[in-house]
Amino acid sequence: MSRGAAIRGGLLVVLLALAIVFPLVFTNPAVTNYGVFAMIFVTAASAWNIFSGNSGYISLGNAVFYGSGAYALGLMAKGWDVQGAQVFDLLPLVGVIGAGIALIFGLIALHVRRHTFIVVTIAVFFIFQLMAANFSFTEGTSGLNSPFLTWQPVPYNQNFYFIALGFAVATIAVAALVRRSRFGLQLRAIRDDEDRARGLGVKTMRVKMSALVITGSITAMIGGVWFYYINQVQPQTGFDPLWDLQIVLMAFLGGYGSVSGPVLGALIIEPGTLWLNTQPQFSGGYLSEILLGVIFLLVVLVLPRGIIPTGGEWIKRLRTHGRPAVAAAVAPEKVGAAVLAAGRTTPLQPPAKDGGQ
Amino acid sequence: MTALLRTEGIKKAYGGVRALTGATISVDEGTIAGLIGPNGSGKTTLFNVITGYQRADEGQVLFGDRVITSLAPDKVFAAGIGRTFQLTRIFPRLTVLENMLVAAQHSRRQRHTVRRRAMELLEFVGIGGHADLVAGSLSYGQRKLLELAYVLIADPQVILLDEPAGGVNPTLINHIADRIRELNSQGKTFLIVEHNMEFVMGLCSSVSVLESGSCVVSGPPEMIRTDKRVLDAYLGADFEDDETGPPGPADSPADPAAGEDPSDVVS
């Protein structure tokens, strides 16, 4: 137990150190650009997972928060004439705006469940895209430009990398805290059987709403960072349906519901997509879109639970030489049945036996 | 004895189907009460109305002297009424221990105290060895025990059990009956819906019979066994003069197929 925790803690320190050293070693802005986008997506996918991964309410509308964060930062900087690095001081305010939008989003969408919820999130998403394209204060289809930063290319990317890394680490920490808390347990109980959880005293609406507000707030802030990094936002980039699908795919590929899953998924998919999109021979990003579709199908068919949970089971099975870990807890004559059970889809199947030991 | 839980004239209709047509039952404090009746007589609907899962069209639910009609499920649970479901409802992707902790949310005690209590209750129902397993991997009978245990952790005054003996083997049925008796001796009040007559008659001190959505008779088990209205409810009025008819509910305690609805046995 303590040894495992020590190994895991040590691994985390090493990973964090590598993440910090990365832009200092590879200073080329074309390389650090990968890092900035990877960290932005690690943050967004982890934030998605806090609400959707734990509660089972699959949101295909998180770009609502992302785009709103971008627009909010741009409008505030323009309206109040904030310049340079001071723009970053507006990010907490962007977080508050994201939380407010999540509250409205939740009041609309959280009254329905499952497939209906997904459809409602898509509908809300398109409403926001339409609003951004049609309101005059959002400058219609031409979008907003950010204030100008006088940083040189190398420190420009490095600074944005560290800001995005800070958000990523903070979001992962929040996700881990949620996962371990009673709040997280209530969310996962809602995922399994919402009515039953309610019947056991869980205030389901409040719990779901709180999680959505956390997710919305974080996503809006990282949307603001993204906007300031690329200096512009248009309705179709801030509110991009493909962005929503990418976030969900990252979480599902890595391991939906786990803390590390969305991080891993984002680190695999985002650099891959970015690399394909910047290769001249695959002009326009068509290949990456096709590949995203292929990955989506593979995940659904082969890895429905994602890399982290499935990989964990494989490792456990290797360690126990093919026997499921529960085999030790049952009577010897039952081990055969347990092994048979392990050959099926779920290896954690104890022999069917009423009444306990 | 005072009535701890009472329903008065509960009516509930689904479109044209009248599931409850004025159900009035009463559960005395510290007793084990049974609720029986043919399939479709409204037993589970009455449970749902009491626990807030469905709203009553008319009538009142009283808990002590408090009116709890159509309160939300979480409020009913907080008031002190716990329940289990006919088809058990556990949280399959949480571990057994985590299942216990969902219902412990109201407790302001320290975390480790709650955990210890959860383990005690798991030991009490007999699945303590499975605490770290994913609950979805438990057998049906073990799920029933888990559901009973996690309702207990919130320490409700009254526990409503919807077919605790349905679909589990005879050994486990005895085990469950023993647990209920022990909890009752500690002061817990029970209301039990069950088709297994042997289980109901052996456990309950009073039994209410629902038919077509209202309570036709209630009283001690000995009285229910021989009551004409109960025989009518289960067998249909045609059997009233049929002396050589098939065994009615009064005989069913000895019937090995007692888990089934007696009216099915007849046909």
User: What CATH class is the domain B3-80+156-266?
Assistant: alpha beta
Eight-class DSSP state of B202: H
As a whole number of angstroms, the distance between CA A134 and CA A75 comes to 15
Segment B153-185, tens digit of pLDDT: 888 889 999 888 888 888 888 888 888 888 888
Structure pTM?
Answer: 0.80
Separation of alpha carbons A275 and B36, rounded Å: 68
* DSSP state letter for B218: E
Name the percent of chain A in helix, strand, coil, to the closest 5: 80, 0, 20
Position A28 scores a pLDDT of 86
Inter-chain residue contact B137 with A201, CB threshold 8 Å: no
pLDDT at residue B232, rounded to an integer: 74
Closest to A182 (Cα-Cα) out of B50, B85, B203, B114 = B114
Length of chain A counted residue by residue:
357
What band does A322 get if pLDDT is binned at 50, 70 and 90?
low
CA-nearest of A54, A24, A60, A351 to A174 is A54
pLDDT, one tens digit per residue, over A9-67 is 888 899 888 888 888 888 888 888 899 999 999 999 999 999 999 999 999 989 999 99
Nearest residue, CB atoms, A193 vs list B89, B172, B175: B89
CATH class of A2-305: mainly alpha
- Taking the C-alpha atoms of residue A274 and residue A212, their distance in angstroms, rounded to an integer, is 28
Collapse the DSSP code of B11 into the 3-class scheme (helix H, G, I; strand E, B; otherwise coil) and give the result. Answer: strand
List strand residue ranges (DSSP E) for chain A, in order: 144-145, 232-233
> Is the ipTM above a cut-off of 0.85?
no
Burial class, B145, CB count within 10 angstroms (exposed 0-12 / middle 13-18 / buried 19+) = buried
B23 token code pair: 């159900």
Is the confidence at residue A120, as pLDDT, over 60? yes
Nearest to A254 by CA among A215, A187, A295, A309: A309
B79-92, pLDDT tens digit by residue? 888 888 888 888 99
Whole-number CA gyration radius for chain B? 19
**Average pLDDT along chain B:** 80
Residue B80, phi then psi, degrees to nearest 5: 120, 25
Could you report the per-residue pLDDT of A202-252, keeping only the tens digit for each? 888 999 999 999 999 999 999 999 999 998 898 989 899 889 989 998 998
pLDDT for position B247: 44
pLDDT band at A186 (very low <50, low <70, confident <90, very high): very high
The model's pLDDT over A297-321, given as tens digits with 9 standing for 90+, comes to: 888 888 878 888 888 888 877 877 6
CB-CB under 8 Å, B78 with A200: no
Q: Which of residues 316-335 of A touch B (CB under 8 A)?
A: 326, 329
Q: Where in chain A is the domain with CATH 1.10.3470?
A: 2-305
pLDDT band at B106 (very low <50, low <70, confident <90, very high): low
Cross-chain Cβ contact A199/B150 below 8 Å: no
Greater confidence (B141 vs B108) lies with B141
User: What CA–CA distances, in Å, run from A96 to A72, A152, A177, B7?
Assistant: 10, 31, 21, 48
Res. B62: pLDDT tops 50: yes
Q: Where are the domains of chain B?
A: 3-80+156-266, 90-154
Pairing between β-strand B32-36 and β-strand B206-211 as defined by DSSP bridges: parallel
Instruction: Write the single-letter amino acid at B77.
Output: F
In chain A, residues with a C-beta closer than 8 Å to the C-beta of B175 are 355
Q: For A156-168, how does the pLDDT look when each residue is reduced to its tens digit (9 = 90+)? A: 888 999 999 999 9
Percent with pLDDT over 90 in chain A: 37
- From A346, which residue of chain B is nearest by alpha-carbon distance? B137
Nearest Cα neighbor of B14 from B242, B244, B213, B260 is B213
In angstroms, the Cα distances linking B228 to B33, B71, B217, B222, B259 are: 20, 36, 10, 13, 22
The winner for highest mean pLDDT among A25-34, A281-290, B255-264 is: A25-34
Q: Are B67 and B56 in contact (CB under 8 A)?
A: no
Determine whether the interchain pair A199/B74 forms a contact, defined as Cβ–Cβ distance below 8 Å.
yes
Residues A63/A244, Cβ–Cβ less than 8 Å: yes
